[in-house]
Structure formats: C-alpha cells, structure tokens
Structure 1
C-alpha cells in the first residue's frame, strides 16, 4: 500500500511581500524569493541572514564567508496587504470571473 503525501495549500507565494511575526528577524519585511514546499519554509529577501563558509577552490583560493538568506518557517510569516501596507491574514473567495483568489481579511481587498 502506497503512502500518500499530503500537500498543504500555503497562504504565501513567491513574489509576495511578507512580514516576519516571530523569531530573531521579527518585524522585518521582505519579498519571498522561494517557497520550499517539502519543508514548509520560505526564503525571504534580506531576512534571516546567515553566514555560509565557502571552501577554497581554484577560482577562489582563499575561500570566503558569504552572507545568504536562510529559510523561515511559513507559520512565522504574514502577507502584507498591498493596498494598506499592513500584515494581514488571508482567505480565498471567488472573484468576478468565478476563480478562487486570495483576499485580505483586514481590508477585504483581493491580493
């Protein structure tokens, strides 16, 4: 018997502006660069910066330290409403064309 893996429907998509609501980067905002579906995490531009150690190579014989964005769990992020600029919860409802679309629960506007 095959085990089915259940995919979650996330409230965040690549390209959304989000606000971090908990953790070391609390209060920072940024644009989502990537959503890691298998791990329930997202990479946000300029948030949760970590230091990556690069080994020496032929092109870079000295090696180096590089600052890169680490991933953040989806539950620690809230979508920022483009109309008001505030963090908001999201829902889904039918738009004028009969298609499900995300909307802001604070303002009621579609995102």
Structure 2
C-alpha cells in the first residue's frame, strides 16, 4: 500500500499538471490508490440523474482524485509548497516541520 504524505485538512500546492500552481484544502485521502481529493482542483464534468429528494440533476462539476505526488504541503510562513520533516518536541508530541524555514506545519 503506497504511503501518502498529506493528511485530510492540509493545504497543498499542485506542482504539475493542468492545475499547476493552484492551492487547495485536502478533502479526502485514498491511501490504497495513493491519491488525494483537493478542493477546487482537477474539476471534471459529470452528467447526473436525480437520486433521493435533494439531489439536483443535470451537468455537475466536481473534484476528481489526483496522485499525491503532484502535491506539496503549503507553508504559510514561506508562502509556497515545501517538503517537510518530522520531529519530536520536548513534551513528546510528534510534529511535521517545514524543511525550508523550520516552522511547525501541524
């Protein structure tokens, strides 16, 4: 099973493909496929039928999963996508930190 380096709720920057340079929030992580679902990234057009009471029928634009290797975690301090490391704080808590500036990402 491939390891995914991002978590649900992280802000990521896309580094390759059609949406290169865009950033968004990770909505879902699919570790079995090594993919992530990012808000506003990789929008596809789907033709939907109404199902249930509240479902709207018609042409719908929704996010499709992309490979996690196309995304870097966004560092607010640096203002760009960065690689991260892991360290253990004095109180025993594990955190991820930006390798560029040293700021905690968690």
Is this a same-fold pair by TM over 0.5? yes
Match of 1:48 in 2: 42
Q: Displaced runs of 4+ in structure 1, greater than 3 A?
A: 56-60
Match of 1:3 in 2: none
* Superposition deviation, residue 99 in structure 1: 2.5
Identify which of 69, 74, 83 aligns with 2:63.
69
Q: Encode CA deviations 1:8-58: one digit per residue, 9 max, x unaligned.
A: 2x3211111100000111111101111111111001001110011113568
Aligned 8 A contact 1:43 1:70 in 2: yes
TM superposition score normalised by structure 1 = 0.83
Q: In terms of Rg, which structure is larger?
A: 1
Match of 2:83 in 1: 89
Kindly tell me: are residues 7 and 82 of structure 1, through their superposed partners in 2, closer, same or farther at Cα, counting changes over 3 Å? Answer: same
* Superposition deviation, residue 98 in structure 1: 1.9
Aligned pairs, how many? 104
What is the CA–CA distance in structure 2 between the aligned matches of 1:58 and 1:95, rounded to whole Å? 49
Aligned 8 A contact 1:28 1:47 in 2: yes
What is the CA–CA distance in structure 2 between the aligned matches of 1:12 and 1:37, rounded to whole Å? 10
TM superposition score normalised by structure 2 = 0.86
Unaligned segments of structure 2, at least 5 residues? none
What is the CA–CA distance in structure 2 between the aligned matches of 1:88 and 1:75, rounded to whole Å? 13
Aligned 8 A contact 1:11 1:90 in 2: no
Kindly tell me: are residues 57 and 91 of structure 1, through their superposed partners in 2, closer, same or farther at Cα, counting changes over 3 Å? Answer: closer
